[in-house]
A and B are shown apart, each in its own frame.
Chain A
């Protein structure tokens, strides 16, 4: 757990939305959630691992998801966790980030500055924290940095220049080039998220990372 005390009690957890309720309240992107749910990135071996993890004493019995339907990272990753919950019998409860700032505050990223979502928090049956995953994998973050480097080279921009520091006249060109290279990577990023969740659970539970 990131804090000595937590607002995520068993009672609070049970107030979270089911996936069906989450979709019902969503005003946008229902088609995206359905698409990514149908097009599962999980392998049989992945599901076997998550089932083993859920069967471990003090393994995950609950997953708390912080999410918002408008967020691209959420509709890309949440359906994977829905599939994991369905396959393992783990209780998934979804909390809207902007209505639950106290929960979000426990899982800030970027040195406490970013309210990045999705966040998937794994808990025991007694709602004791096991581990959590935020937004996208470390591999995806590294790839994003590499993409930025490549774009800087392709556009003859100074090394190290960022969206914040690039000349105003080149800013939109820089951003469009980065986005164009990121979007095709989303299928692989989904797989990397699964690998990272497996790694996190394997380490926390001292469970071999195999299906």
Chain B
């Protein structure tokens, strides 16, 4: 199911990336619905993430906006 049909943000993450983990914890604590795509588990997902940016976390919002990093954390180069 893609983001348009689900209407939730997609977040590209690496679980070893501190900024990614902070984002996930915050969203989970706030009950924000999202779809996580872990780039460290699949070259195909990593290649998909690179279409949007160079640094995870990358959030693709349902309206098409793309954000990298999280709050004050730059994240990790992919």
Q: Which residues of A contact B (CB under 8 A)?
A: 27-30, 68-73, 97-98, 115, 162-165, 171-172, 175-176, 179, 183
Contacts and interface: CB of A to CB of B under 8 A. Distances in A.
B64 interface: no
Nearest to B40: A70
Nearest to B16: A98
Residue among B39, B40, B76 facing the most chain A CB atoms (10 A cut-off): B40
Interface residues of B, number: 24
Contacts of B76: 70-72
Contacts of A27: 40-43
A28 B46 contact: yes
Contacts, number: 59
Given A28-B43, A70-B39, A72-B77, A172 B68 contact: yes
Contact of B69 (A71, A115, A165, A171): A171
A68 B67 CA distance: 24
A165 B46 contact: no
The 5 closest A-B pairs by CB, nearest first: A164-B72, A72-B77, A70-B40, A28-B46, A28-B43
A70 B78 contact: yes
Interface string B33-48: 0000001111100100
Residue among A29, A97, A163 facing the most chain B CB atoms (10 A cut-off): A163
Contacts of A71: 16, 76-77
A203 to B, nearest CB: 29
A165 B73 CA distance: 11
Contact of B77 (A30, A73, A115, A171): A73
A68 B16 contact: yes
